[in-house]
């Protein structure tokens, strides 16, 4: 091992970036502070809970997707924009595109997941997932073309009645207005099956207000360029559509898939309570790739809130291991859930608080502003939110 230990973090999402930032802030002695390397294939961090605001142009991409170079400017963190092609866990080497190799002593796996769109015929070719900035740009371009064509109606099918599907449908309803013909398709008996009753009931009211149809207990059999085949109680209906959005499923990357580490049936990495991968004290996993549970033994969802909380523990445990302190067991604190239900509408349920409508919309914005990764970015975005209405008023 080199005199200065090396921590390599793969994936710059909520788990990876916030682990790196927290590590850099911890009270290291100068001779102890490790070399921290963060690797991500994108040049930007994505604050994914605010991705929906791009559809309605309530926010701009720079606000929710600041460059890593900007976020890491005043830290000692080394950033590589690259794809990881191989990890040799025995030699402790990470290989990047172009065959560049990075040695490490501790490895953090936070590569996130992807939405599987190849499980239904035609979905890969014709459906758009909604998970990344490029997905949002692709959707925006598709909407622009549809709006320019100026049809009598724009027919949209959103596959998945979870948080993402509902939030997406409501924002689309706001953007498309009376031309929108939006339906949510879900195989379950109700939408938002894992949500609180308050948020589910509030969301259903928002869907009904926006005339969004719910196809429940329904499977998707096929997607084509202009139709979607739905199966309800054994009967197949072919519905004409202009746009299909796919929001269901989570699949780990091939990089994680091929690692010789302990995994569950969904190929998620099995971890100890310390977030270390089972059988390895040099590898940590968090976020969408980790098989993690709450104190009651229930699996934790693949959400930004979970990854955000894990990052604090992961950074602390890396620091504790390096400074001969005891490691902490991860304890998830459910802080409630927030959902956007369109422009000036949201719902919040948590910590004894139940809000909906415009008040919840403002509160959600402020909470997420506080969660943005650096103080500088928080101030820049917050100032823009304050001054934007004034600028718009003066331009009238």
Q: What is the pLDDT of residues 339-353, one digit of tens each?
A: 999 999 999 998 788
In this prediction, residue 395 carries a pLDDT of 67
Contact 198, 204 (CB under 8 A): no
Q: Is the pLDDT at 50 greater than 50, yes or no?
A: yes
* Nearest residue to 308 via CA among 291, 288, 293, 328: 288
Q: What's the sign of the alpha-carbon dihedral 167, 173, 176, 177?
A: negative
Among candidates 390, 319, 255, which has minimal Cα distance to 20?
Answer: 319
Per-residue model confidence as pLDDT tens digits over 307-323 = 999 999 999 999 999 99
Mode of pairing for the β-strands spanning 6-10 and 127-129: unpaired
SS3 319: helix
Secondary-structure class of domain 123-246 per CATH: alpha beta
Name the band, by pLDDT with cuts 50, 70 and 90, for residue 336.
Answer: confident
pLDDT, position 391: 67
CA 165 to chain centre: 13
Residue 150 has pLDDT above 60, yes or no: yes
Please tell me whether residue 81 adopts helix, strand or coil conformation. strand
- Confidence at residue 350, expressed as pLDDT on a 0 to 100 scale: 86
Please list, in sequence order, all residues whose beta carbon lies within 8 angstroms of the beta carbon of residue 40, skipping any fewer than 6 positions away: 11, 12, 13, 16, 68, 79, 80, 81
Q: Give the chain's end-to-end CA distance (angstroms, integer).
A: 64
pLDDT interval class at 1 (50, 70, 90): very low
pLDDT at 29: 83
Q: What percent of the chain has pLDDT over 70?
A: 98
Q: Please give the DSSP secondary-structure letter assigned to residue 288.
A: G
Note whether 157 and 239 are within 8 A (CB).
yes
Alpha-carbon gap, residue 79 to 128, rounded angstroms: 30
Claim: this prediction has a pTM higher than 0.85:
yes
Whole-number pLDDT of residue 295? 81
Taking 90 as the threshold, does the pLDDT of residue 194 lie above it?
Answer: no
The top-level CATH class assigned to 6-41+82-113+250-322 is alpha beta
Which residues lie closer than 8 Å to 159 by C-beta, 6 or more apart?
123, 127, 165, 185, 186, 220, 244, 245, 246, 247, 248
Q: 145: Cβ–Cβ under 8 A, 6 or more apart, which residues?
A: none
∠333-36-327 over CA atoms, to 5°?
40
**What average pLDDT is seen over the chain?**
94
Q: Give 249's pLDDT tier (boundaries 50, 70, 90).
A: confident
Where in the chain do CATH 3.50.50.60 domains reside?
Answer: 6-41+82-113+250-322, 123-246
396/216: higher pLDDT? 216
User: Given a cut of 60, is residue 279 above it in pLDDT?
Assistant: yes
Give mean pLDDT, residues 166-195.
95
Per-residue DSSP letters for 335-393? --EEEE-STT-EEEEETTEEEEEHHHHHHHHHHHHHHSS-HHHHHHHHHHHHHHHHHHH
**pLDDT 10s digits, 88-133:** 999 999 999 988 999 999 999 999 988 889 899 999 999 999 999 9
Residue 334, pLDDT score: 85
How many CB atoms within 10 Å of residue 151?
A: 10
Tell me, what DSSP letter sits at residue 148? H
């Amino acid at each position: 091992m080199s005199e200065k230990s090396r921590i390599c973090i793969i994936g710059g999402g909520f788990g990876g970036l916030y682990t790196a930032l927290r590590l850099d802030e911890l009270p290291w002695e100068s001779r102890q502070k490790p070399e921290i390397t963060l690797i991500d294939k994108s040049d930007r961090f994505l604050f994914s809970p605010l991705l929906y605001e791009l559809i309605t142009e309530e926010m701009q991409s720079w606000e929710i997707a600041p460059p890593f170079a900007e976020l890491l400017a005043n830290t000692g963190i080394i950033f590589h924009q690259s794809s990881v092609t191989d990890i040799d866990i025995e030699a402790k080497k990470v290989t990047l595109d172009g065959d560049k190799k990075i040695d490490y002593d501790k490895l953090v796996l936070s590569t996130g997941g992807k939405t599987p769109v190849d499980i239904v015929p035609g979905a890969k070719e014709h459906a758009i997932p909604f998970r990344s900035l490029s997905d949002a740009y692709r959707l925006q371009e598709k909407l622009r073309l549809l709006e320019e064509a100026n049809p009598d109606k724009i027919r949209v099918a959103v596959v998945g009645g979870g948080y993402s599907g509902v939030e997406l449908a409501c924002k689309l309803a706001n953007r498309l207005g009376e031309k929108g013909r939006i339906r949510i398709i879900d195989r379950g008996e109700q939408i938002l099956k894992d949500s609180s009753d308050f948020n589910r009931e509030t969301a259903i009211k928002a869907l009904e207000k926006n005339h969004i149809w719910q196809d429940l207990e329904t499977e998707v059999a096929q997607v084509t360029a202009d139709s979607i085949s739905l199966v309800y109680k054994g009967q197949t209906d072919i519905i004409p559509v202009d746009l299909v959005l796919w929001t269901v499923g989570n699949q780990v990357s091939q990089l994680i898939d091929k690692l010789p580490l302990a995994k569950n049936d969904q190929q998620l990495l099995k971890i100890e309570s310390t977030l270390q991968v089972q059988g390895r004290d040099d590898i940590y996993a968090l976020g969408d790739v980790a098989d993690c549970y709450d104190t009651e033994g229930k699996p934790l969802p693949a959400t930004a809130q979970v990854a955000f909380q894990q990052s604090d523990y992961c950074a602390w445990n890396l620091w504790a291991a390096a400074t001969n302190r005891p490691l902490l067991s991860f304890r998830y604190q459910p802080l409630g859930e927030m959902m956007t239900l369109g422009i000036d509408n949201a719902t919040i349920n948590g910590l004894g608080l139940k809000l909906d409508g415009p008040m919840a919309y403002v509160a959600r914005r402020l909470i997420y502003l506080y969660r943005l990764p650096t103080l500088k970015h928080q101030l820049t975005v917050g100032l823009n939110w304050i001054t934007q209405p004034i600028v718009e008023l003066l331009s009238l």
